[in-house]
Amino acid sequence: MTTNPDAVIIGAGHNSLACACHLAARGWKVIVYEQNATVGGGVKTGEYTLPGFRHDWAAMNLSLFAGSAFYTQHAAELAGHGLSFSPSANPFASVFPDGRWLGISNDPALTTARVRSFSDADAKAWKDLTVNFPSEAEAILSILGSPMNLFAFSSLGWKTWRKRGSGGTLDLARFLMTSPRVWLDQTFESDHVKATLAAWGMHLDFAPDVAGGAVFPYLEAMAGQAFGLVLGAGGADTMTTAMVKMIESRGGAVHCNSNVIGINHAAGRAFGIILDDGMLVDANKAVIANVSPSALLKLTNGSGDQRHDTSMRKFQHAPGTMMIHLAMDALPDWSAPELKRFAYVHLAPSMDQMARTYTQAKAGLLPDEPVIVCGQPTVVDPSRAPDGKHILWLQVRMAPSQIKGDAKGEITATNWSDAAEPFANRALDIIERYAPGTRAKILGQHTVTPEMLEADNPNLIGGDQVCGSHHLHQHFMNRPARGYADGTTPIRNLYHTGAAVWPGGGTGAGPGTLLAKKLAGN
């Protein structure tokens, strides 16, 4: 066991592990404490239905990780510890009630031809976006990968202005504040094309009319075409398993089944943690908490800074998610056979429907037609199921954390224990409409409600898989609160990381990496 550590880290989500890896690579002694029996938080894999069928618990797409600054810096070492990817040239598609579909593939000519089948004007717009993507992505990703403090923000603004000029800089700022619907309506004319891209906003909490959401459909569409999509070979846990081995190989330790109940601090300085068995663990340099803002407040019993504590208490979470894991005898028979080649198939027929779904969930209602993200990982990685069999990874978006009613007037239950089965059946009914006979192919099913997601990982409050809304009031320099987007807290040597901290959710490990570089250097 590592003794006299430089840093103790609370929680073993992928941001914690990335932070620990980078610190260990810089010579720090690190210990990570995780309350669950396995590491990873939302990035883990298990046989949740039947033996031999390996399902990703929550996160499936590792593209952000594969393109991250952390992976770029540590790729060789992680590969030596077993990290392996399964790439897909067909990242995502949408299928529509009229039987038509649109798929984005890692082939610009093919994808443009598919867009042209809906609109010649949209095909031209798509080609223009494709041509401009490298320069636009450079500017956007520079922002999303930058520390969010006044010095870094000012420096980035200056560099952007010098490169793009005042007009180009203002155009970029405007785009970052634009809603998906505004951008899509200004760019395309086909409702099918618009809906295909808008579905990506629903992976977070960017319904079509939410300001600041346009960047996510744009990046996912363009990056999907440019680079394809990446899954973890054998499961998303290839990532977290490799990071644990890297930590251990450098003298660190990761302890599971270890529940932290408090952070020791006095006179404005943190010096360790308290485990639920009464054990005290001191840290020479840093206590790092990968927890929700409300949990940070509880662990410290208040920082002594009223503005910070109020921000932690009032931090807002996104609507919840239901996950449905299916062991399948075969893939769904979609209305278009080509859809069997795609990693994701979105069932989100229109921006209006997506907006309605989001509003219903925010009002506490079970949506009448939730968005279904149908992951088909065995199309990309057959090793996740027995020979000839498949798995489906269904993300049901959106779902209320507390049920007040049913928008369709059919489900009377107002608790998740009783509402889980009928709401899951509603999602399966939707799939059945697009791919008749899917139910008959199900060999095993495991439904995970928002309540169950939070019980497994307290950071996912109300089933919010991204640990906090990414709306503009709570993003950029305000994530999780003004002045603390760089992971600092009012308590010296206590740092905050995880999806609640800039740059937020996703598998890119940005919060953990930025914090590690702040503490130990690049």
pLDDT value at residue 1: 42
pLDDT value at residue 154: 76
Averages of pLDDT over runs of 10 residues in the chain (522 residues) are 83 98 98 97 97 98 96 98 98 97 97 98 98 92 85 74 84 94 98 98 96 97 97 98 98 98 97 96 98 98 96 98 98 97 98 98 98 98 98 98 98 98 98 98 98 97 96 96 96 98 96 97 84
Six-digit token string for 149 = 């403090």
DSSP annotation string for 477-497: GGSSSTT-TTSB-SSBTEEEE
Q: What angle do the packed helices 351-362 and 180-187 form, to 10 degrees?
A: 180
Q: Vertex 143, ends 141 and 146: CA angle to 5°? A: 105
Strand-strand pairing, 229-232 and 269-275 = unpaired
Q: Which fold has domain 7-44+54-86+235-315+468-520?
A: FAD/NAD(P)-binding domain (3.50.50)
- Residues 291 and 356 sit within 8 Å (Cβ to Cβ): no
pLDDT value at residue 21: 98
Rounded to two decimals, the pTM is 0.96
Domain layout of the chain by residue ranges: 7-44+54-86+235-315+468-520
pLDDT value at residue 3: 67
pLDDT value at residue 148: 84
